[in-house]
A and B are shown apart, each in its own frame.
Chain A
C-alpha cells in the first residue's frame, strides 16, 4: 500500500495543474516543489495563451494573478540599425482575450495554493533526488535517503528534468534541443507603459523578434512583454550556436537587445528588478521522450512539450494541458488499480488526441525553420535593404520592388537558389 496515490515532482503550471485535477477528484496527492515559494526559481517569458486553466480553476480569469490581456502582438526582425516588424492590433484579439501576460512568481504560487486547498499535500523547499524503483516499476521518489511511496509519479520538473534524467527514464538533453533564456523584469509606472506601447487600461503588448545583428553562427530570438507595471524583456539563444562561438556571451546579447535603438526607448528610465536565466526547450516533436512508463508519466517542459514557430511561442498552455491529461490518466488508473506502462500509455494517446501533440506533429521539423540561417542571417538584412531603398528618397529615378529585391539578394552573401529552396521549406513548415 503506497503512502500517496500520486506524487507530482515540480510545482509549475504542469505539476500544479496535475495536482489540482487529481486532488479535486479525491486522490491523495503529494506535490513537491524545490523553490519556496513556488515560482521563485523558474524563468518564463510570461504569456499564458489559451483557456486550459478553465478545466481546473473555473474562475481563473477573475482571480488568478494576471497582468494584462494581449491586444497587440508584434513580430519581426532587428538589425543593427533597424526594426522591421508587424504590429498586429485588433479589437478581435481584445475580445477573445486569448493571451495574458503573467509573472510566474505570482501565478505559480496561486496555482500551488489551489492544489493545496484542493487537498494536495504541498511541500516546498525540498528537491527530490530520484525516482524509487521496485524492479522496473516506479514506486515513489527518493529524497535524502528516504523513499516516499506512491502508486504513480508525475514528473513535471521543467526544462531541466534532472530527476527524469538521473533516474534513466529520459535521455540527457542535446544541445540542439535546448536554448538559453535570459530575462529582465523592468519596473516602470503603469501609465508610462501604456503611453509607450499605445495601450489603454489592462491592454497588453507581446512582441517577439529575431536578432539579425549577431555575428558568426550565433542565433537568438528576443521578446518584450508588458505586465501591469513592469516589462518582461528577454532573449533566447540557441545552445549549439553559443558553443561554436566561444567569444560570444549570452549576457552580452541581452545587453545588445536591451540597448537596441528601437527597444531601448521602451524601457528607458525603468529599474531592473529581476535578472534571471534558464534552459528553454526548443527541440520540437523530435525531442519529446517516451511520455510514460511503468508507474510514471512526464508532463510539460520536462517532456519537451513546447511550441515555437517564430511567430507563435507557447509553453504554459502545453504544460497545463499535459498536466491535466496526466491527472486524468492517473484517476482512471486508480479506478482500475492498474499503473502498468500499458495502462499509463493512455496518457500518450490522450495527448495525441488533443492539440498538444497534434500541434507538435503538424509542425514537425519547425525548429529547423525557427533556427534556420534563412531566418536569422539572410532575411533580416535583405528586408532592411529592400525597405530602406523603398522608403528612402534620394532624388534618383525609382525602381520596381522586384528589382530592388533582386539587388538586395545579390548584395547579401546568399545565392538566389539557396534562398528560394530554404524559403520554400520554411513556408511548408509554417
Chain B
C-alpha cells in the first residue's frame, strides 16, 4: 500500500504571543513542532502499514527548518521525506497550499491513501486536506478516529456531532484524522539515526513547474483584513472564608445572581 502523510511544522501554540503593537502573531520565540493532529495522521498511517504492509512518504511544505519535523516522522517509521520549499511558495493561503501539495503528490506517482491532520493549530481552517482531495479529484474520509483496511476497502470511523459514522470507501482516498484518534508513538534512536543518514528530498518551484501565479501569495485569493485582541474583561474577585459563605449567598441573592427557588 502506497501511503502519503501530509504534515506541517507549526510554532508551539504555548509559545506564540500577539504583538500588542502590530497585531500580528509573533512566532519568533516559539519552537517548531509537528502540528498535533498530523502526528495522529502519521500514527494512523503507521498502523495501516503495520497491518497490511506498504511505504509511507511524508510531504510537507514550509521553510527549510521544517526538515526537523520530517526527520522526526521518519524516526517514527515513515520511509521517505519530501520538503516542498521555495520562497515563491511563501504566504500561500489554504487554496494555493492545497494546489501545491496536490501537484507534489501527483508528481510522486501512484498512491492509495493520503493522510492529513484534521486541522492545524496555527490557522485552524481544516481546508488543506479536503482541498488536496478536490484538486486530485479523489474521494475523502474526514474527521476519522479509527481507520483500517478490509479487503480492498478502507473502513473509517468518523466522529461527527451526533455520533460516529462508519464508512467504507475504496482507495485512492484522502483521510483526515482527529487529534483524539490515537496516541502517537515516539521516534526511536535507530530509526532517527537512519533517517538523518538517508536525509530528505527538497523540492522547489522548478521541481513542480507550476505557473508562478498559481502559488504563494499570488495564487492566494484570501486576504487577511485585520487581527484584533479582544479586550480582557476584568471580573470582580474576592477570597471567601468558610464562615462567610452565608453572607456570600445572601449577597448573590440580593444581586440577582442566584435565586432562592420556590415560586
Given A37-B31, A40-B31, A126-B75, CB of A121 within 8 Å of CB of B190 = no
Q: Which of B188, B189, B193 has the most CB of A within 10 A?
A: B189
B196 to chain A, nearest CB (A): 6
- Which one of A30, A40, A143 lies within 8 Å of B188 (CB-CB)? A143
Count of chain A residues near B, Cβ 8 A: 15
Q: Which residue of A lies closest to B32 (CB)?
A: A37
Q: Which residue of A lies closest to B185 (CB)?
A: A144
Cβ proximity bits A136-156 to B, threshold 8 Å, 1 near / 0 not: 000001011010100000000
Q: Are A126 and B192 in contact (CB under 8 A)?
A: yes
**Distance between Cα atoms of A123 and B74 in the complex (Å):** 12
B104 to chain A, nearest CB (A): 26
- Which one of A37, A40, A125, A148 lies within 8 Å of B190 (CB-CB)? A148
Q: Are B188 and A144 in contact (CB under 8 A)?
A: yes
A128 interface residue per 8 A CB criterion: yes
Q: Which residue of B lies closest to A129 (CB)?
A: B189
Q: Are A123 and B192 in contact (CB under 8 A)?
A: yes
A109 to chain B, nearest CB (A): 9
**Distance between Cα atoms of A341 and B67 in the complex (Å):** 40
B197 to chain A, nearest CB (A): 8
A32 interface residue per 8 A CB criterion: yes
Given A123-B196, A126-B75, CB of A148 within 8 Å of CB of B189 = yes
Given A125-B187, A126-B187, CB of A30 within 8 Å of CB of B31 = no
Question: Which chain A residues border B39 with CB–CB below 8 Å?
Answer: none
In chain A, positions 117-174 with a C-beta closer than 8 Å to chain B are 121, 123, 125-126, 128, 141, 143-144, 146, 148
B106 interface residue per 8 A CB criterion: no
Q: Which of A30, A32, A121, A123 has the most CB of B within 10 A?
A: A123
B198 interface residue per 8 A CB criterion: no
Question: Which chain A residues border B75 with CB–CB below 8 Å?
Answer: 123, 125-126
Q: Are A148 and B31 in contact (CB under 8 A)?
A: no
Question: Which chain B residues border A121 with CB–CB below 8 Å?
Answer: 193, 196-197
Q: Are B186 and A126 in contact (CB under 8 A)?
A: yes
Q: Are B193 and A148 in contact (CB under 8 A)?
A: yes
Question: Which chain A residues border B190 with CB–CB below 8 Å?
Answer: 143-144, 146, 148
Given A37-B31, A40-B31, CB of A126 within 8 Å of CB of B196 = no
Q: Are B193 and A141 in contact (CB under 8 A)?
A: no
Question: Which chain B residues border A40 with CB–CB below 8 Å?
Answer: 31
B118 interface residue per 8 A CB criterion: no
Question: Which chain A residues border B31 with CB–CB below 8 Å?
Answer: 36-37, 40
- Which one of B72, B189, B196, B197 lies within 8 Å of A144 (CB-CB)? B189
Q: Which residue of B lies closest to A40 (CB)?
A: B31
Q: Which residue of A lies closest to B72 (CB)?
A: A125
**Distance between Cα atoms of A141 and B189 in the complex (Å):** 10
Question: Which chain B residues border A143 with CB–CB below 8 Å?
Answer: 188-190
Q: Which residue of B lies closest to A4 (CB)?
A: B193
**Distance between Cα atoms of A126 and B192 in the complex (Å):** 9
Q: Are A32 and B196 in contact (CB under 8 A)?
A: no
**Distance between Cα atoms of A128 and B192 in the complex (Å):** 12
**Distance between Cα atoms of A146 and B188 in the complex (Å):** 9
Question: Which chain A residues border B187 with CB–CB below 8 Å?
Answer: 125-126
Cβ proximity bits B186-212 to A, threshold 8 Å, 1 near / 0 not: 111110110011000000000000000
Q: Are A123 and B193 in contact (CB under 8 A)?
A: yes
Q: Which residue of B lies closest to A142 (CB)?
A: B189
B160 to chain A, nearest CB (A): 34
**Distance between Cα atoms of A37 and B65 in the complex (Å):** 12
In chain A, positions 209-250 with a C-beta closer than 8 Å to chain B are none
**Distance between Cα atoms of A40 and B29 in the complex (Å):** 13
Q: Which residue of A lies closest to B190 (CB)?
A: A146
**Distance between Cα atoms of A32 and B189 in the complex (Å):** 8
Question: Which chain A residues border B192 with CB–CB below 8 Å?
Answer: 123, 125-126
Question: Which chain A residues border B188 with CB–CB below 8 Å?
Answer: 126, 143-144, 146
**Distance between Cα atoms of A228 and B75 in the complex (Å):** 37
**Distance between Cα atoms of A128 and B186 in the complex (Å):** 12
A77 to chain B, nearest CB (A): 33
Q: Are B72 and A30 in contact (CB under 8 A)?
A: no
Question: Which chain A residues border B193 with CB–CB below 8 Å?
Answer: 30, 121, 123, 148
In chain A, positions 5-40 with a C-beta closer than 8 Å to chain B are 30, 32, 36-37, 40
Q: Are B189 and A146 in contact (CB under 8 A)?
A: yes
Q: Which residue of B lies closest to A37 (CB)?
A: B31
A35 to chain B, nearest CB (A): 10
Q: Which of A37, A40, A121, A125 has the most CB of B within 10 A?
A: A125
In chain B, positions 210-262 with a C-beta closer than 8 Å to chain A are none
In chain A, positions 292-314 with a C-beta closer than 8 Å to chain B are none
**Distance between Cα atoms of A103 and B217 in the complex (Å):** 37
Question: Which chain B residues border A37 with CB–CB below 8 Å?
Answer: 31
Q: Which residue of B lies closest to A109 (CB)?
A: B31
Q: Which residue of B lies closest to A144 (CB)?
A: B188
Cβ proximity bits A332-348 to B, threshold 8 Å, 1 near / 0 not: 00000000000000000
Q: Are B196 and A128 in contact (CB under 8 A)?
A: no
Question: Which chain B residues border A123 with CB–CB below 8 Å?
Answer: 75, 189, 192-193, 196
B210 to chain A, nearest CB (A): 33
**Distance between Cα atoms of A123 and B187 in the complex (Å):** 10
Q: Which residue of B lies closest to A30 (CB)?
A: B193
Cβ proximity bits A30-58 to B, threshold 8 Å, 1 near / 0 not: 10100011001000000000000000000
Q: Which residue of B lies closest to A105 (CB)?
A: B31
Cβ proximity bits B64-77 to A, threshold 8 Å, 1 near / 0 not: 00000000100100
**Distance between Cα atoms of A378 and B189 in the complex (Å):** 52
Question: Which chain A residues border B197 with CB–CB below 8 Å?
Answer: 121
**Distance between Cα atoms of A125 and B186 in the complex (Å):** 8
Question: Which chain B residues border A125 with CB–CB below 8 Å?
Answer: 72, 75, 186-187, 192
A-B contact pairs, 14 of them (CB 8 A): A36-B31, A36-B72, A40-B31, A121-B196, A121-B197, A123-B192, A125-B187, A126-B75, A126-B188, A128-B189, A144-B189, A144-B190, A148-B189, A148-B190
New contact pairs (19) apart from A40-B31, A123-B192, A125-B187, CB-CB < 8 Å: A32-B189, A36-B31, A121-B193, A121-B197, A123-B75, A123-B196, A125-B72, A125-B75, A126-B188, A126-B189, A126-B192, A128-B189, A141-B189, A143-B188, A143-B190, A144-B190, A146-B188, A146-B189, A148-B189
Sorted nearest first, the 6 A-B pairs with minimum C-beta distance are A143-B189, A146-B190, A144-B188, A126-B189, A123-B192, A121-B196
